[in-house]
Amino acid sequence: MLNGVIIKTYNSFYYVQTAENVVSCKLRGRFKKERFSLLVGDRVEYEMAGAGKGIIEKILPRRSMLRRPMIANIDQVILTFAAVSPNISRILVDRFLVLAEMSELDIVLCINKIDLADSCELQSIVDHYRAIGYQVITISAKAGIGISELRSLLYGKISVFAGPSGAGKSTILNTVETGLTLVTGELSEKIGRGKHTTRFAELLPLSGGGFVVDTPGFSFTEFNDMTPNELMHCFPEISERVSDCKFSTCIHSHEPQCAVKQAVLAGQIDEQRYQTYLTILEEINVNKKRF
């Protein structure tokens, strides 16, 4: 039995990347009867059924799964923001971080366009997130700054890039891996196409090993599937104080003797981060009432 990883799906065909090439595979009939959803990123075992063609016989256990879009076996999410043009928003960074935390993936915060930024303002943002415990790298895709460090983080892993429009994700990937030729936002405007030109999720192989995910307009925007308890554990500085609250049902908004609120007052938890927590909590509660 041969094995590989599914790098894309199209019209009931599954394209399996092996050590040597890509094999176009169909799924064995019994999986269709079980209504099993085979995802990009799944590792499979298959048998050859002709030149460049195969039949998938076994789907190996998943170690992780990204919810939106659904991709299996992701190792890490690279949350990508521009330092300027558009200016980085800590509120937006925090919202992306929450949903990345919910996916239970390793997180790298990548700040692009640092050659255009005020170094003091940028350093304060970097220090802020590193103090919380996040890994932060600063780069300039166009100037080639920090690209070697980014490559070392990507090689040997399956990574997904997420972030708002204008962060330069496609430019970064084109710089990291010569030959990807992803359509950038600037080029999309020139040729009259939308900025998000990918129609389906696909794993793109890296020369140093591993893959990056190219997805259709991939971003974190909604909290529909989240509960208040899940939310509090998506803020590391809140999560570590949950057990210190007097009431086990505390959601850290209005309750007395709340260790989280006390930490905010003492300056141990950033006030703006806490306000973002409360805003998302309200969105979750409103959504629950709606349904």
Cβ contacts of 189 within 8 Å, gap of 6 or more = 195
Is the same domain home to 70 and 36? no
Instruction: Point out the domain boundary residue: 156, 191, 214.
Output: 214
CB 62 within 8 A of CB 158: no
In 3D, which of 222, 219, 245 has the Cα closest to residue 232? 245
Supply φ then ψ for residue 171, to 5 degrees: -60, -40
Cβ contacts of 246 within 8 Å, gap of 6 or more = 255, 256, 257, 258
What was the pLDDT predicted at 291?
A: 57
What was the pLDDT predicted at 287?
A: 80
Give residue 10's domain range.
2-59
Is the same domain home to 169 and 110? yes
What was the pLDDT predicted at 143?
A: 94
**280 inside domain:** yes
CA distance 240 to 260: 9
CA distance 145 to 149: 9
**223 inside domain:** no
Is the same domain home to 38 and 158? no
Prior bond to 69 cis, omega within 30? yes
Beta bridge partners of 107: 77
What was the pLDDT predicted at 268?
A: 96
CA distance 286 to 290: 6
What was the pLDDT predicted at 57?
A: 92
**What distances in angstroms separate CA 260 from CA 128, 130, 174, 237, 279, one per listed residue?**
18, 20, 43, 9, 15
**174: enclosing H helix or E strand:** helix 169-176
**pTM of the full predicted structure?**
0.86
- The number of domains in the chain is 3
**219 inside domain:** no
What was the pLDDT predicted at 30?
A: 74
Neighbours of 126 (CB within 10 A): 18
Is the same domain home to 54 and 72? no
Local confidence pLDDT in tens for the 291 residues of the chain: 899 999 999 888 999 999 889 999 998 877 765 666 889 999 999 999 988 899 999 999 999 888 767 889 999 999 999 999 999 999 999 999 998 898 888 999 999 999 999 999 999 999 999 999 999 999 999 999 999 999 999 999 999 988 888 888 888 999 999 877 665 655 444 433 434 444 567 899 999 999 998 765 455 557 878 899 999 999 999 999 999 999 999 999 999 999 999 999 999 999 999 999 999 999 998 887 765
